[in-house]
Amino acid sequence: MNEDLKETLMREINRQIEDLNLVDGGSKEEQMIVQNVCSLTDTLNKLESSEMDAFDKQERREAEKVKNRAAHALEVEKSKIKLDRVLFEGGKIIIPGLLSWLFYNRALRLILKYEETGRIVSDGGRMASRLPNPFGFWKK
């Protein structure tokens, strides 16, 4: 349809230009023919512009579809739960917890060494049992 319309416009523009050669210069007919040629070329330019816009929009849509398919495939791949990912995420939780528990037990064994009577005999334990008094500032 657009090709037929473009061909018709081109033929009309060519016919008007041929008619322009037959008309005397400076007459009203010449002005009308020039105005007709200008309006026909404007129409032809708008038609070509709309065709280019439609082509550009179609290419953009195709590019968006390809990009969306690729993004969707990537998200599906990311959402799959794999064993190595489960082990890594579990290790991020278990390893620090295990290290903290081991450090805590070792520190308690070193600091809180009791005699059989229940008295703390290690230096660390004695230092920990002598906590500073926050109200000692007001004592005389």
**Separation of alpha carbons 7 and 14, rounded Å:** 11
pLDDT in tens, 44-84: 888 888 889 989 999 999 999 999 999 999 999 888 888 88
- Look at residue 10 in the predicted model and tell me its pLDDT: 84
pLDDT in tens, 122-136: 666 666 666 666 676
- Look at residue 93 in the predicted model and tell me its pLDDT: 94
**Separation of alpha carbons 18 and 84, rounded Å:** 79
pTM of the predicted protein model? 0.45
Q: Which two tokens stand for residue 128?
A: 């920990």
* Whether the predicted pLDDT of 29 surpasses 90: no
User: Are the C-beta atoms of 107 and 125 separated by less than 8 Å?
Assistant: no
**Separation of alpha carbons 95 and 84, rounded Å:** 16
Q: Where are the domains of the chain?
A: 1-80, 82-133
